[in-house]
Amino acid sequence: MDKNGDAIKEFGNTYVNNMKENESIQVLSIIGQIEGHMNLSPQTKSTKYEHVIPSLISMEQNPEVQGILIVLNTIGGDIEAGLAISEMIYSLSKPTVSLVVGGGHSIGVPLATAADYSFISPSATMILHPIRMNGLVIGVPQTFEYFNKMQERINDFIVRTSNIDKEALRKLLLQTDELLNDMGTILIGEQAVTMGLIDEVGGVKDALKKLKELINEDKP
């Protein structure tokens, strides 16, 4: 298998070099569950943050990379890992466009809004809900304060990188009539755009077209 083939197999990433001469787009796919410090089972489709972070640094340093397309279909996962990847995407100097296909749930929301411009396919969903923890939770005020601060970090990032305001986001997180046995909201396609989370409804063609525009605007 060649180098590109190895990259596709291991990371789900490859170059798209069929635009203009000396122009290159890097595709970063974020799929399945975001894996953090703990390894998920081999049967779980996951995106490993220890793969994504060095990939993003490589894209930033590579002069051949002119723009980055981030394709998301994720159910969420590790909060710290997802937020770290989101901040990395937001801090890139290269133009970035995200495309949510299937779903951008939980920590997948800030991953989608981190790009310079975001798209969602008409049938894709985004699920917003308060943070949840599995396993033993110590019921003391410090635990509540920790959860509250972590939720604020996520909310602040989403507000900073999208067009939704903080109060509207809070209401979506605290809805009690949409998710079974949980609080939160499901937004489908156009609804995510109407609420200001995502910039536009579209697909691969639209995302690549927008990325080309951003690349041309970024050129001196």
- Asked if residue 23 has pLDDT above 70, the reply is no
* Ramachandran quadrant class, 22 (left: phi over 0; alpha: psi -120 to 50; beta: rest): left
Q: What are phi and psi of 212, to 5 degrees?
A: -60, -45
pLDDT in tens, 133-189: 554 445 555 565 666 788 889 999 999 999 999 999 989 988 877 665 667 889 999
Calculate ∠ Cα 93-97-103, nearest 5°: 135
How far is Cα 10 from Cα 166, in angstroms, rounded to an integer? Answer: 38
How high is the pLDDT of residue 131? 72
User: Hey, where are the domains in the chain?
Assistant: 3-218
Q: Catalytic residues, which ones?
A: 106, 129
- Contacts (Cβ under 8 Å, ≥6 apart) of 16: 24, 25, 26, 27, 69, 208
pTM here?
0.82
Kindly report, residue by residue over 56-77, the tens digit of the pLDDT: 999 999 999 999 999 999 988 8
- CATH architecture of the region 3-218: Alpha-Beta Complex (3.90)
Mean pLDDT (the chain, rounded): 82
